[in-house]
């Protein structure tokens, strides 16, 4: 039998989550964020499953967008970081990609260009996140430039991104929303201009700010986007369940240490299992002791530092475990948020996006 680290991916749960998100934002179109290999779930597999049900796909680079066109995906694709060099504008024009403009140089690149067809454009404004986007107090002039450019499809759309939507009480949310609202009013865009502000957390928290397009990412994959609510409370279901099996079981005497750095010392005689999954698969090396691991449906704990190919589990809660038994690292029956509490930044984002391609993926249907 080959190495057993694998992930089960549920089409049903992916489409269920999309429906939950749409039900929460019934008047908005959906840009499904499939960047970063669809948050670790597989760019192609996820996009093929979503294409019929969403209005657009969101990627970080033209390489990802071209992969999607190559496999026959025809719906609009947004380059969320825009183009990285002038030649990409031509490709965007030919392939019909939506280009986000967030930096002056991207506008300059438009000058000497002769596009075969007008480019679909978004102006990204920085409403307070301090990341990509034109300073919202100075962005009107750039909107104007794009609006007057005959190589740009009109009207130009407008977007921004919230920094703290996962913390609903954070005052920065309302400041950003107010600032975005002021901007779109001040530039008095044509009635048909479309806007977008909300990521997953904001979709659940700020219904008045859904605008024309929502941009869900993490919620689609069934992890909670909110710090104070579980995925189950939001009716989201995990798309990925990460599994492997026990490849060795041993009893260690009191005082024995486990793993690199001898981080864990047995406080008593202990039954432990070695599982075939480590940081080379995307299970973080920095995960702390006691992170939950399901062994035959019993909740056991990680002990000792995660190695590249293996990790160690305390089998006290599952004394009948055998070599070959399956374990679950996260997913159905073990919410990823609970595992994320044992990571350095408490979120599921890097757990999901970190899954490596030597983990075998099995999509259900």
Site residues, ligand PLP (CB under 6 A): 33, 80, 161, 199-201, 215-219, 225
Q: Long-range contacts made by residues 42-50, C-beta under 8 angstroms, separation at least 24?
A: 42/9, 42/361, 43/67, 43/68, 44/68, 44/71, 45/9, 45/361, 45/363, 46/14, 47/71, 47/73, 48/73, 49/11, 49/14, 49/15, 50/14, 50/18, 50/220
Alpha-helical (H) ranges within the chain are 11-24, 35-39, 43-50, 62-70, 87-95, 104-109, 140-148, 171-186, 200-205, 336-340, 349-353
CA atoms within 13 A on the CB side of 324: 2
Asked if residues 22 and 29 have their Cβ atoms less than 8 Å apart, the reply is no
Which residue number, 217 or 222, has a Cβ lying nearer to ligand PLP? 217
Q: Rounded to the nearest whole angstrom, what is the least distance from the CB of residue 312 to ligand PLP in the complex?
A: 32
Asked if residues 280 and 292 have their Cβ atoms less than 8 Å apart, the reply is no
Q: Rounded to the nearest whole angstrom, what is the least distance from the CB of residue 206 to ligand PLP in the complex?
A: 13
Which residue number, 40 or 225, has a Cβ lying nearer to ligand PLP? 225
Among residues 138, 250, 254, 260, the one annotated as catalytic is 260
Among residues 35, 124, 237, 243, the one annotated as catalytic is 35
Q: Rounded to the nearest whole angstrom, what is the least distance from the CB of residue 349 to ligand PLP in the complex?
A: 7
Q: Are strands 98-101 and 77-79 parallel, antiparallel or unpaired?
A: parallel
Which residue number, 25 or 80, has a Cβ lying nearer to ligand PLP? 80
Q: Rounded to the nearest whole angstrom, what is the least distance from the CB of residue 226 to ligand PLP in the complex?
A: 10
* DSSP 8-state secondary structure symbol assigned to residue 334: B
CA distance 325 to 236: 28
Question: Which residue from 150, 82, 140 is spatially nearest to 111, judged by alpha carbons?
Answer: 150
Cα angle 285-43-216, degrees, rounded to a multiple of 5: 85
Q: Which position's Cβ is nearest ligand PLP?
A: 217
Q: How many residues does the chain have?
A: 365
27 is a catalytic site residue: no
Which residue number, 272 or 339, has a Cβ lying nearer to ligand PLP? 339
Which residue number, 6 or 97, has a Cβ lying nearer to ligand PLP? 97
Compute how many other C-beta atoms are within 10 angstroms of the C-beta atom of residue 326: 15
Which residue number, 37 or 328, has a Cβ lying nearer to ligand PLP? 37
Compute how many other C-beta atoms are within 10 angstroms of the C-beta atom of residue 52: 8
Q: Rounded to the nearest whole angstrom, what is the least distance from the CB of residue 157 to ligand PLP in the complex?
A: 13
Burial degree of 287 (CB within 10 A; 0-12, 13-18, 19+): buried
Which residue number, 218 or 246, has a Cβ lying nearer to ligand PLP? 218
269 is a catalytic site residue: no
Question: Which residue from 327, 298, 297 is spatially nearest to 312, judged by alpha carbons?
Answer: 327
Q: Rounded to the nearest whole angstrom, what is the least distance from the CB of residue 164 to ligand PLP in the complex?
A: 11
Q: Which residues are catalytic?
A: 35, 260
């Amino acid at each position: 039998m080959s190495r057993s680290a694998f992930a089960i991916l549920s089409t049903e749960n992916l489409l269920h989550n999309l429906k939950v998100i749409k039900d929460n934002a019934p008047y908005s179109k959906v840009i499904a964020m499939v960047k970063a290999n669809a948050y670790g779930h597989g760019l192609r597999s996820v996009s093929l499953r979503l294409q019929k049900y969403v209005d657009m796909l969101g990627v970080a680079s033209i390489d990802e967008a071209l992969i999607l066109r190559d496999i026959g995906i025809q719906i609009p694709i947004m380059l969320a970081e825009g183009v990285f060099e002038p030649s990409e504008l031509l490709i965007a024009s030919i392939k019909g990609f939506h280009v986000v403009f967030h930096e002056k140089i991207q506008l300059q690149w438009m000058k000497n260009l002769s596009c075969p067809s007008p480019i679909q454009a978004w102006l990204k404004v920085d409403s307070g996140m301090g990341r990509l986007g034109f300073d919202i107090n100075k962005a009107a002039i750039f909107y104007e430039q794009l609006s007057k450019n005959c190589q740009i499809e009109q009207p130009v759309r407008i977007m921004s991104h919230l920094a703290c939507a996962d913390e609903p009480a954070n005052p920065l949310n309302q400041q950003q929303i107010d600032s975005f609202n002021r901007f779109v009013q001040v530039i008095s865009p044509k009635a048909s201009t479309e806007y977008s502000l909300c990521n997953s957390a904001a979709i659940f928290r700020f219904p008045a700010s859904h605008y024309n397009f929502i941009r869900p990412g993490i919620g689609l994959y069934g992890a909670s986007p909110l710090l104070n609510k579980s995925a189950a409370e939001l009716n989201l279901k995990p798309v990925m369940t990460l599994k492997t099996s026990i490849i060795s079981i041993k009893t260690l005497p009191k005082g024995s240490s486990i793993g690199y750095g001898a981080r864990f010392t047995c406080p008593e005689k202990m039954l432990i299992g070695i599982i075939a999954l480590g940081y080379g698969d995307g299970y973080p090396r920095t995960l702390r002791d006691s992170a939950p691991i399901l062994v035959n449906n019993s909740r056991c704990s990680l002990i000792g530092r995660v190695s590249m190919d293996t990790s160690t589990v305390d089998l006290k809660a599952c004394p009948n475990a055998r070599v070959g038994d399956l374990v679950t690292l996260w997913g159905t029956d073990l919410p990823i948020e609970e595992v994320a509490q044992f990571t350095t930044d408490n979120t599921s984002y890097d757990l999901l996006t970190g899954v490596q391609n030597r983990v075998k993926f099995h999509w259900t249907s």
